[in-house]
Amino acid sequence: MDLLSPIKDHHSERRLFIGRVILTSVFAFVLLSVVIVRLVQLQVIDYEHFAERSQGNRIRIEAVPPIRGLVFDRMGRVLAENLPAYQLELIPEQVEDIDDTLQRLARLELIDADDIPRLRELSRSGPRFKPVTLNLRLDDEQIAHFAIQRPRFPGVDFRPRLVRHYPHGESIAHAVGYVGALSTSDLQNLDPSRYAGTSQTGKTGIENKYESRLHGDAGFRHIVTNARGRQVPAESRDRQELLPADANPTPGANLFLSIDLDLQMLATEQLAGRRGAVVALDPWTGEILALVSAPPFDPNLFAVGMSTSQFSELQDDLDRPLFNRAVRGTYPPGSTIKPMLAIAALETGATNLERKTVCPGYFILPNTTHRYRDWKPQGHGEVDIHDALEQSCDVYFYEISNAIGIDRIHDYLGRFGLGSKTGIDVTGERPGLVPSTEWKRNAFRNPSDQRWYQGETVIVSIGQGYMLTTPLQLATSTATLATRGIRYQPRIVAAWEDPLSGERTLTSPVRLDNVELDNESYWNVVINAMNRVMQGARGTARAVGSGAPYRMAGKSGTVQVFSVAQDEEYDEEKIDERLRDHALFIAFAPVDNPQIAVAIIVENGSSGSRVAAPIARAIMDQYLGFNDAAK
């Protein structure tokens, strides 16, 4: 049978084609339906939600740091101000590789390579949207150089900012302090809402103690950005209709210090080339008139940004310029405590106004052979309490010390504020030490070391041994002598001012417990003897007080840095400069109406009356208006 098969089945092909067309049409309709539904959802149902998100991507909130408060001296002269400068900043969220970016910036000398670890940690510790300051002040050459390289550094840019500036630099370094770049520990301790956009904070001195007042509160502004996150100008309609209202920052309060800038600069000049400290204050208010530590440093180095190597150089300096000797330095006070010790001796009956002692140049405790030497080898001859203070006779105080007893010495000196913090409004104050039997029992583990010996009391009577005080404590105790027992807490801020309203708030003097005496006439006894120290016929500082147009009272002190054996003589010329005696001096003036009290220490200055006393005289002359008195 011959079977013929058709070459093409047109009917089957048509049915297949129609089926495919229908299937394709259904699939396309489904897809179109999905798109339409999605468009309806986006454009109608979720319109407000996505419109808000779109606007949020377009508008960015940028923190506006507050203007830091200014600092003035008592006459309204600027001690700390803010100057415009360009800072190099990095926004972590806009930088893909922070390490690589920092390395490349260091190669361009826009940042210091030693600072890279700190900057890396800083950029990772805070919010990623918050700018991190890489360089606090760019010079013109750096700005021009970076402008060319800017496309290579997304997320890095320079911005105009206000930078702290100290017009008088070294003269006010330890009194005012300085600001420095925020560290990771600062970020952990500070309120992030207040410090948004801020790159610096107070580190020492007034800048640190009054940080909360000086800083102010941050504001914010809304800016329009393009798809790449860069700011673009906003149309006026956008700003009026779309952008939320900005919040202006609140500037920090202005501070007015009790510091007298002229006195501060004079004290700095007097200590030039030396190590030491000067503290001057008003005895009747506790206001600090001058607070200087030498050698000083330039606080502007910290304000504009200091490299790690520069900071290490300062920190490792053998003379320790960053150390505030005025409030943190603790020294044996030497004979400067003798006026307070004389008060204790008279009050306790350990001596009286008629008692006289023959000073042969040394003192020996009963049943011992050790000689406690007087500063004057040949001795002072017969002396009473007036002579002992005027001539600074050590033997007289050696004799009366054990009659007073170490615990009563501790008690009386403590009443004058020695051995404890004064409460001054500057950070970092140290308490010093006035020893007692209880202190020694607690300070040592070995029972034999816990016992207090008579010889130790003898040494304490001339302000040596375990005893330590700060120059600030000596100044406040001198002020207590000047006021005859009336005590005030020292303070350096006299007022603060609201920068918006101009309203000024004065700080009030803080009264402390008075030094009460059973016999008030003892004040006159001691003060008259201190006057004779400077203006008496045999006073140890008569060369300094001679010819002054006003009456002054003072007391010198010379403190051994190392012990000299019994059979050895102290020869200043033969020993290293850093092993020479410390020179101290306390003074106040005028005697009848005290207006200023001063304490000075010159490390390794050898003689209190020869080296430290002239500084006290110069400061008192300046403050009392007798600048040319000593010329």
Which residues are the active-site residues?
A: 335
3-class state of residue 159 by DSSP: strand
Contact by Cβ (8 Å): 277, 600: yes
Cα(171)–Cα(544) distance, rounded to whole angstroms? 25
Q: What are phi and psi of 93, to 5 degrees?
A: -70, -15
Cα(628)–Cα(23) distance, rounded to whole angstroms? 112
* Alpha helix ranges (H) inside 360-470: 385-390, 394-404, 406-415, 437-443, 447-450, 454-460
Half-sphere exposure of 576 (CA within 13 A, CB side): 4
Q: Cβ atoms within 10 A of the Cβ of 300, count?
A: 19
Amino acid at 615: I
- What is the DSSP code (8-state) at residue 145? H
Cα(284)–Cα(486) distance, rounded to whole angstroms? 8
CA 262, 264, 266, 272 dihedral sign is negative
3-class state of residue 262 by DSSP: helix
Pairing of strands 71-72, 254-257: parallel
Contact by Cβ (8 Å): 263, 80: no
Q: Which two tokens stand for residue 226?
A: 């393009």
